[in-house]
Amino acid sequence: MVNTRMKLLAIDTSTNYLSLALCDGEHTASFHEEVGQKHAERILPELAKLLQQCAISLANLDAIVFGQGPGSFTGLRIGCGVAQGLAFAAGCPLIAIPSLDNMAYQAEKGTVMVCLDARMQQVYSAIYQTDTRWQRISDIQVSAPESIVWSPHITVVAGDCLQQYPELLPPHHTKPTVQSIRPHALSHLELAKTGRYPQLPAHSAELLYIRDKIALTSQEQQQARQK
C-alpha cells in the first residue's frame, strides 16, 4: 500500500555521490553532490542541515531508508552504519533498497537494463519491466562486461557502464535509449512509500555486496592494463 504521508530520511552512499533526502510528510528536501571519498566527512553535517531545513527531529521519523548496494564497498558501509546508528537513536525501523532498483525507477518506462560499473573490469546488472507492472525480472548480478546477455527487447539502458565500456552495446534493429543514471535518495523515498520493501529493525540491516572481492591484486591490475 502506498503511504505518501510517511516521514522518511533516505541515505545513499553507493557511488562517489552523497545523496540524502528528507520528507516530513508534506515537504521534501534533498542533497545530491559528488563528494569523491568524503562520504564519512560530509554525511552528518549535511544530514543536520536537512533536518533543520525541514524542522523535524529524528524521533519524528517513521523510518530511515538506505541504499543497500551493490556499489562502493566503503561507501555502502558508511551509509549503512550511519543509517543504523540513527535508527537506533530514533527508535525507528530501516528500509533497505537495492541500488539498481533505484536506478530502474528513475529510467524511462519500458524494458530496462540497468548497468553499474563495478570496477575491476566488472559490471553490476539487472533487467526490469517498468511500463506495466513495475518489477525486476532478473537477478542482480556481477559479471565481466562481455558476459552480459543483451536481450533485443531492451528499450532502455540505464547506468554508467556504457561510459566505461561503450563497445558493450550490440547492434539492434532499434537502438535502446541510453540514460546515465546514478542512485538518488529522492527515488529511495518514493520506492519506500510503495510498501514494496519491508521495514526492518536496525540490527537486521544487511548490505547487498553481490561479490566478496574488493580489489584486484597487483598482477591482475597489470593484466588488465595490458588488455
Write out the residue range of the structural domain in which residue 66 sits: 8-99+182-204
23 vs 213: CA distance, rounded Å: 36
Is 70 found in the same domain as 32?
yes
Amino acid, single-letter form, for residue 138: S
Asked, for residue 138, whether it belongs to a domain, the answer is yes
Is 144 found in the same domain as 117?
yes
Which residues, in sequence order, are CB contacts of 134 under 8 Å at separation 6+?
105, 128
Here the cell at position 105 is 525507477
Asked if residue 171 has a cis previous peptide bond (ω within 30° of 0), the answer is: no
Total number of domains in the chain: 2
Is 53 found in the same domain as 87?
yes
pTM summary value: 0.89
The per-residue pLDDT for 212 is 57
Report how far Cα 46 is from the mean position of its chain's Cα atoms.
19
The per-residue pLDDT for 216 is 35
Is 186 found in the same domain as 174?
no
What is the distance between the terminal CA atoms of the chain, rounded to a whole angstrom? 50
Asked, for residue 121, whether it belongs to a domain, the answer is yes
Here the cell at position 203 is 540490527
The per-residue pLDDT for 43 is 98
Task: Kindly report the CATH number assigned to the domain that includes residue 166.
Answer: 3.30.420.40
The per-residue pLDDT for 219 is 38
Provide the 10 A C-beta neighbour count for residue 4: 10
The per-residue pLDDT for 210 is 87
Is 150 found in the same domain as 170?
yes
The per-residue pLDDT for 214 is 45
Here the cell at position 87 is 535508527
Is 13 found in the same domain as 94?
yes
The per-residue pLDDT for 137 is 94
Is 189 found in the same domain as 174?
no
Mean pLDDT per 10-residue run, the chain (227 residues)? 82 97 93 97 97 93 97 95 96 97 96 92 94 91 88 90 80 81 96 95 93 44 41
Could you tell me which residues are beta bridge partners of residue 179? Answer: 158
